Amino acid sequence: MHPILFEIFGYQVRSYSMAMATGFVVGILLLRRRAVYEQFDVNFVLNSALLTIFGTILGGRALFVITTWGERFADKPWYEIFKVWEGGLVFYGGFFGSILFVCLYAVVKRQNVLALMDLFAPYAGLGLAIHRPFGCFMNGCCFGAPTGMPWGVHYPVDAYATKFYGIGQALHPTQLYMGLNGLFLFLVLRWYRDKKRSHGEVFGLLLSIYAINRFIIEFFRGDKIRGFVTGDAVWGLLVFIVGLTVFLLAKKLANKPLRNAGWLVILVGVVLAYLSLYSDTIHAGAETPFSTSQFIGFYTLAAGLTIFLNARLFGPPIQPEYGQPLAPGTLVEKVEAQAEAVAE
């Protein structure tokens, strides 16, 4: 555990922040190299990558504030929610925040959203592989539950984990588990992207595999700021799954009204999920054994499988030039031609 790497001019450079920055830098360098092989303009991809940074911070902070409002922010001044430097980011919030920013940018620029998500997907895993071991592990956060396994780790006396579980107690190195999960994602998605049939498959696999592995790792987490989900939240999940089922059925039947109905049901399920995050203070439902992250993971898995199946079964085949270097200016000309065709 080494939360502070060094000081420069009185400013502390923390391992958590440095690991996050390193993950972004490495990912951006690889994205820049890969972009031309997936028929994207490099400048567009670099702009999208910068948006992931803002989306990660804003989304991660927003979900942290939502899920810990009662115990951390309810009785404090409103501006406390902006003090990101004091800690408090949730992965799922940052993950979906970055996706939202990039998708909106792609829509504005009239680019293929699913193709762009496939491009980014493997490097999301790589970012986790860098940040979790070198950021979370060295920072001492996201620690695991007590264990008797030989790979259990002991934290320093002044660490929060030691204060919580006592001196001499070995804990699961869940930060390393999550880092290995990220490396596994990177390798699998890097392999699969050259075998996909349609855009969206790699992104769907990212959501699905991460949700499953994170669900398992959560059982070994020991930090108690996990949140919990009550029984009433299950209704929102069921509504969400029904909406996804209706959407896939509508795609098979080529029924646009039914597809729109599916989107509406999906939206209702998302709203119910949002409200369920407050279930510990608003509702009186029985507590389930699942954490907030695991509950969000249920939604993530359902969405990931739907995106994958939709792309695999109904998506158009990828263009023949996929995987070949893109000539300079090709994308600009293609976009301008599409714009002219729409205008006509």
Domain boundaries, the chain: 4-226
pTM (predicted TM-score): 0.83
d(CA 261, CA 17): 43
d(CA 291, CA 341): 50
- Phi and psi of 134, rounded to 5°? -95, -10
- Phi and psi of 329, rounded to 5°? 85, -10
pLDDT tens, residue by residue, 233-265 = 677 888 888 988 898 888 888 888 998 999 999
Q: For residue 281, what are its two tokens?
A: 């203070």
Spatial neighbors of 327 by CB under 8 A, at least 6 apart, are none
pLDDT tens, residue by residue, 148-181 = 999 999 988 888 888 888 888 999 999 999 999 9
Residue 207's CB: how many other CB atoms inside 10 A? 26
Residues of the chain falling short of pLDDT 50 = 279-284, 332, 335-336, 338-339, 342-344
Cα separation values, 95 from 62, 134, 332, Å: 12, 19, 29
Q: For residue 80, what are its two tokens?
A: 């406390």
Query: Alpha carbon 142 to chain centroid distance?
Result: 16
Determine the residue type at 280. D
* Dihedral sign computed on CA atoms, order 11, 16, 17, 18: positive
Tell me the longest C-alpha to C-alpha distance in the chain.
73
How high is the pLDDT of residue 87? Answer: 63
DSSP 132: I
The CA radius of gyration of the chain, in Å to the nearest whole number, is 21
Q: For residue 65, what are its two tokens?
A: 């504030």
108 three-state secondary structure: helix
How high is the pLDDT of residue 279? Answer: 47
For the chain, the distance separating the N- and C-terminal CA atoms, rounded to the nearest angstrom, is 62
